[in-house]
Amino acid sequence: MASPKEHLRDWLRDAHAMEQQAISMMTAQVERLETYPELRAAIARHLEETRSQADRLAECLTLLGDDTSTLKDLTGRLVAFGQGLTGMMVEDEAVKGALASYAFEHMEIGAYRVNVAAAEAAGEATIARVLEQIMKEEMAMADWLYEHLPRITAEFVSRDAVDAPAKR
């Protein structure tokens, strides 16, 4: 068995690892995107927001009395999901990347939904509010991608039809 606070600490650490992975993915996307300036700018904005999310998670862990010096940094965080995206060299890279980002944002929304409930169960109202704010940021990014996926796709298709740069 484990106490509610112990579960919260473990899940906050998982969320921190998830954000590190998000930083790896988005850093690669911002570096590679060339012909989709709107998408590139949206990802660059969310990348900065994500760095702040990781910092806020570390602060929540400190509030719980956790030792944040053992949180893994970016090195070696390129696991499963991130690898599929950061190593992406496919012909429709921009579209696949936007799609992968849309899926990733939803994983984040789910994770924060769980973590808010875990914080409330542990009686940590302050932490719950921080996590709710982060969840809203993930929802805003998911909404942006939902709204823009059709335009990104249409742009890719029309560019590729005339052999203009379309891939990234």
Which residues would be at the binding site for Mg ion (CB under 5 A)? 19, 50, 53, 108
Answer for the pair 53, 137: CB distance below 8 angstroms, yes or no.
yes
Task: Report the nearest approach of Fe ion to the CB of residue 138 (Å).
Answer: 4
Looking at the Cβ atoms of 29 and 166, the one nearer to Mg ion is 29
Task: Report the nearest approach of Fe ion to the CB of residue 9 (Å).
Answer: 21
Looking at the Cβ atoms of 79 and 154, the one nearer to Mg ion is 79
Looking at the Cβ atoms of 108 and 155, the one nearer to Mg ion is 108
Q: Which of 29, 13, 31, 37 is nearest to 101 (CA)?
A: 29
Question: CB-based burial of residue 102 (10 Å sphere; 0-12 exposed, 13-18 middle, 19+ buried)?
Answer: middle
Looking at the Cβ atoms of 19 and 155, the one nearer to Mg ion is 19
Residue 138 in contact with Fe ion, rule: CB under 5 A: yes
Residue 108 in contact with Fe ion, rule: CB under 5 A: yes
Q: Which does 53 bind (CB under 5 to 8 A by kind): Fe ion, Mg ion, none?
A: Mg ion
End-to-end CA distance of the chain: 48
Question: CB-based burial of residue 153 (10 Å sphere; 0-12 exposed, 13-18 middle, 19+ buried)?
Answer: middle
Radius of gyration of the chain (CA): 17
Task: Report the nearest approach of Fe ion to the CB of residue 148 (Å).
Answer: 15
Which residues of the chain form contacts with Fe ion (CB under 5 A)? 108, 138
